[in-house]
């Protein structure tokens, strides 16, 4: 019992120190911290850990970086958060997505422009292209759905699949016309949170259209 209690005290002390260091770094301001944070993302490898840096350490660093980036704003901050969102590490992606959502509540235009840049600069296969529609899904801004629609035209089928699912969940009925040309699209997309399932883009589009039309009918019947 005493050993366990001592371990808890040690844990509390460690967390207190982490918070104190985080706050101290945040007080240094964006101008002082941006270069070190950018270097930390590069050192952790973004999508992969750099040679000599194990995946657990890389993920830990990217989580800390994303959390600290959330203290600032600006286009560079948004781009770095999206870079972390493109990593192979689920915890880091989750933290980056949370920080992007928080930033979007106060600086939606900054996040929107960052998403637009991501669509241009990120290669097909980047996890960020799959994550971003899901991040946008939870941002209560009319422009969020418009950004999600842009992913439907992407060459990455996984990004397209994620966007289709997000549009269905948003109930974006105006997207039906956008989805109809995809109904016979045979590209395979991997969808799902923890367990990925392979399904064609066409199947996803047809299912989403059905759900959106059912919602429209239900609204008319309830009016």
> Could you give the angle at which helices 55-69 and 2-28 cross, rounded to 10 degrees?
50
Q: Tell me the pLDDT tens digit for each residue of 94-131.
A: 999 999 999 999 999 999 999 999 999 999 999 999 99
**Integer CA distances (angstroms), 28 to 43, 91, 109, in order:** 21, 26, 25
Q: Tell me the pLDDT tens digit for each residue of 50-99.
A: 667 888 999 999 999 999 999 999 999 999 999 999 999 999 999 999 99
Would you tell me how many other CB atoms lie within 10 Å of the CB of residue 121?
11
**Integer CA distances (angstroms), 4 to 9, 10, 161, in order:** 9, 10, 47
Nearest CA among 162, 158, 103, 174 for reference residue 137: 162
Surface-to-core class of residue 28, CB atoms within 10 Å of its CB (0-12 exposed, 13-18 middle, 19+ buried): exposed
For the chain, domain boundaries:
14-121, 124-223
Contact 148, 183 (CB under 8 A): no
């Amino acid at each position: 019992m005493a050993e366990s209690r001592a371990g808890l005290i040690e844990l509390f002390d460690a967390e207190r120190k982490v918070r104190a260091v985080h706050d101290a770094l945040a007080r240094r301001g964006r101008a002082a911290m941006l270069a070190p944070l950018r270097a930390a993302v590069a050192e952790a490898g973004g999508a992969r850990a750099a040679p000599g840096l194990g995946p657990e350490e890389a993920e830990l660093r990217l989580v800390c970086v994303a959390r600290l980036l959330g203290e600032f704003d600006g286009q560079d901050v948004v781009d770095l958060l999206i870079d972390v969102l493109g990593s192979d590490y689920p915890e880091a992606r989750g933290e980056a997505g949370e920080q992007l959502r928080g930033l979007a509540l106060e600086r939606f235009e900054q996040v929107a422009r960052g998403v637009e840049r991501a669509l241009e600069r990120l290669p097909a296969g980047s996890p960020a292209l799959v994550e971003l529609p899901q991040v946008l899904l939870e941002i209560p801004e009319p422009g969020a759905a418009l950004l999600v629609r842009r992913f439907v035209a992407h060459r990455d089928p996984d990004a397209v699949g994620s966007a289709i699912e997000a549009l269905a969940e948003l109930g974006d009925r105006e997207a039906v016309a956008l989805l109809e040309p995809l109904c016979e699209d045979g590209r395979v997309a991997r969808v799902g949170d923890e367990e990925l399932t392979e399904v064609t883009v066409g199947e996803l589009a047809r299912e989403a259209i059905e759900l959106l039309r059912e919602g429209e009918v239900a609204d008319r019947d309830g009016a």
